[in-house]
Structure 1
Amino acid sequence: MPLKRTPLFVYQKIIIVFFVLMIPAYAIHIGINYMGFSFVKKQILSSHLANANFYAVQLESSIDFIRGRQLEFLNDSDLQKLGFMSDSLDKFQEIMLVKSIGEKLATIQNASPYVINSGVYIKSYGKTISTRGGVKNLPNDEWSSVKSRMESGMNKAVYYSKDTIIFVKSSNNDNFVSYLELSVSRFQQTLQQLVQGGSGAGVAIIDEPLRTPVIFDEADARIIGTMIEQLPDNKIGEVHEYLQVRANDETYLILVTALHSYGWKLLTYVTEEQITGPLKKFNTWFFVLFIVSFIVIFLFSFSVNRMIHKPLYKLIQSFRKTELDHLHMSAPPQRDNEFDYIYRSFDNMMKKLNVSVRQNYEQKMALQQSELKQLQSQINPHFLYNGFYNIYRFCKSGDQETAATLAQRLASYYHFITRSGSDEVALRMEYQNALDYCEIQRIRFSNRIELQYDKLPPHLHPIQIPRLILQPVIENAFEHAFEHSSKGGVLHVRVVEENSRIVFRIEDDGAHLTDEQIRLLEERLKMTTGVSEKTGILNVNGRIRLKYGEESGVAVSRSPLGGLRVDVIILVQGGWKNV
């Protein structure tokens, strides 16, 4: 006899589905974690690369500029005159030439923060002139230090010491020798901006032909020496490439960037652990999360059985008893939770019938309010773009007062239409917003539209009406009566009180609307269904009727001015005092 398979309970199925979903989720997470690890590492290295390249270009440009000024100085007329005519100059001329040369040397020094001394040796004059020592007869310590480096047996333009880098340039068979001293410490301060990672990261400049560090941190001297030894000859000359070397039991990632003009290489180095160490923490947290998730699954299974399965089983048993006509049967509540609420709700269902009727009525009212909000949300002040363009045009033409006025009007207008809160506003605010819109459009139409409007009676100011029922009508007048006309125009905005109703009358003198078009518009306004419009007169008509009834709304006719007359009618039973 085949064994009967026991059906699984709902909570057991939930737990199985949970496990099935977790397995691919973990697999995807591992893949994403690995891809993210590689991507972030690449982005960090790319950032280092971009910074190094940028600094190399800036440094090379700065040194080229200094060298250019040095070459220009050797051809200076005052320097040449002092060198070749020093014996024939009187004392005043000599002093003036020395002063001029000193000022030009100071200009070269001030041209770069790296230069700490700028000097020149004049053989025929028998003196040196520098920003540090001034004018000194030969021999002197400053020139002796420069000369000793020049006589080291290497014909170069750059010489190194522990604290300075000296650029030397001579002319006229060494009659003139210009020398610039650059501070190594200032270079180091700038270089440290490339690596802000603390220990394990650094930057140095090496002389490629000599394979010697020129600018570097003394604390990393041993590491830099080991790096240079491990760099192959064919690699140290390459640019924009990361290399891996071992030094001090650490793996370093090195970027070699060339400074072509001087045979220098910029070495940016950082330990691989500093790049990947923070990222590896995510792997550790992933495995912690993996273990925690299994603990959570176990606790979840236990809680589902206790909080859902057992109470649900009791509820099912109660329903089965009701099938046997035990209509008043219910499981006794044991704790205050959702299932106890279901038990009590079953017994109180009939008592709450009246509550349900009331809720149905409230839902109907909420639906009507929702429809009103939907109609209001259709108002879209599309002239925003024209307003911004006009502000730009007035600013360009120098008409700052008009630009400021237009900006203020636009700010007031959009503050009104975008404000949150009630769907209704005081009539004073609605009327002022309509006038603001008129002024914005008049500025846009270069003030060729004549506006005449009534002042709103003070007793009507606090009356609450739906928002944005006047501006769309005025917008319609500007769009259809004045938009396509190069002539001037007239717009009237009137306020008429008639017992229990108030009429806002907007009239224009546009000549583009025919009698047939006005008749068709009247027919559409009389329709209560099947009419949809995003903005304009029909929208306002629908909103007013929804709020005040069928006797209110919008009426159109031919204006005595020759254009369209639009009457916005609001009728309230019992008069305005009851609004």
Structure 2
Amino acid sequence: MYRPLNMKLVLIFMISTLLPLLLTTYVVARVYIERNSNDTSILIDNTLISLSQSLSGYLNELDQLTLIPYYNDDFISALKVMASESYESMSKYQVLSITNMLDSQLRFVRNTRKDIMSTLVVSDNKPLFYSTNNPLNDVTPNYEFAETDWYRKALQASGDAVFINPHKQDYFTRTKNESVFSVARTIREIPSKRPISVIIADANTVVLQKMFQDIDFHVPSHIVLLDQERNFVYANHEVSPVLFRPMPENHSIVRDGDSSYLVVRRTVAPYNWELVVLLSNSHLEQKTLWVYLNSALLYIICLVVAFLFYQGLSRKVMGPVKEIIKTMRKVEQGDFTARYPTHTKDEFDVIGQSLNSMIGELKQKIEMEYVLVLKQRNSEYKALQSQIQPHFLFNMLNGFITLNQIGERELLEKSIIDLTLLLRYILNHSDMTTLEEEMHLIEKYSSLQQLRFGHRLQVLMSCEDGVRPYKVPKLILQPLVENAIIHGVEPLNSPCTLTVAADTVWEDGVLFVRIRIEDDGVGFDTQLLDEHGQVGLANTRERLQLCFPDSLFRLESAVGVGTSIIIMIPEAHFHENYYSG
């Protein structure tokens, strides 16, 4: 009666509160993401501007270093002399004067600039002068300077500075494996502009590393510096060159395998170099996702609060209904002490009182009929079991008398010990036992009988592992085995075989546990079964029906062929509570 009203209230609450809250949360998240993206873009652009200006200033300083020869006419004149053939015929004093003048100029540069590792002046393949920060360093003998890229590029630049990508100082003996970043320029005569030599200044690549090492964009990133030919000059991490062939557009997305990057680039003027930053696109998306997740979490919290508010209102109406359902479920599970607690003065109170009255009447009927029937079945079962135990003992005592009469004293003593073990099993166990224990009892009983019959009795036993733990009535198989031995094997003077086996078999789509007791003894006519009248056989069948109502008991026998008893118990019975014990 109240549920439609509750649903209407929930619908109104969702339209008036939850949906506007959801829309507001989404709009706030979008605005925050856009503003954060704009702030990040401004930060990156300003950082790149600062980096490009610093890099441009540094390149300009290196450019100015190679112009030092033009500031001193004597420097150029000395280089002309050293490059000429007459230099070899000059006196030691003249050579020393020229060398000291050049060294004073270049040493000043190297001492004032700690990043400059060396300066070298060559003409074709002839080193004219060099200055390094390693006093033991020397020019590599017979080095082909004219064949190097930096020498050819310097000549082609016609007097302009040429920046050389990081490379090895293989033209020096002591630092040939060190990586340097260089600037080279052709030194020419001022009037004729004829090239005299090429000067190259080598700077430590650590300068570039220090310039970029403290840059942080708050996401994993790569900083790459490309020269005017778009060759790698520096990268703070390993980057695939494929990303820059062709050069990606600014603020575009590039991919390298499973990784994607946002490209932000800026040209380093006036050298036409390119400073490129690759920002991890996945981390940028994660930041965006983080904002959405927080917005979703806020919305969920509001939704939970609203749900709790709704639950508080609906509990007053739905509480009694839930109590009635809870009481009925307890009764379904067999708890007939459950009662509905009447605490309201409305229609639910009347329904609850009627339910309590019905539960009381149902409990009374069950106690009068069902419980009495169970007690009667247990009494009948115990009566049948009490008949088997004296019958079993009577037959065993008769066997002992026979052993005593024929003088088998040792065999009689061993049989009494085996009987003691069997009696201990009977007295120390409950009415139910496992099929494995029952088979073990049969094994002991058969061993006792084999002492009596000797080679005339051979017993074959088998039991599947899966059926061993199944519960069966105690002494359910012993009377059948005893009948087979006494009525099937004992009358014959020839050897007989008794087979006791337990396994599973499918029949008509049902899985059965099959127990077989078979002998190849004298057999009998099944039409005369009532006259045969074995007590153990009849009691076993009745006990089996009491414990397993759907079980099958099959008896087949023929005179001179033998007897076969097959017990078929549905496997599902062993998982149900058919017997109370």
For Structure 1 versus Structure 2, the TM-score category normalised by the shorter chain is 0.3 to 0.5
State TM-score, norm by structure 2: 0.42
State TM-score, norm by structure 1: 0.42
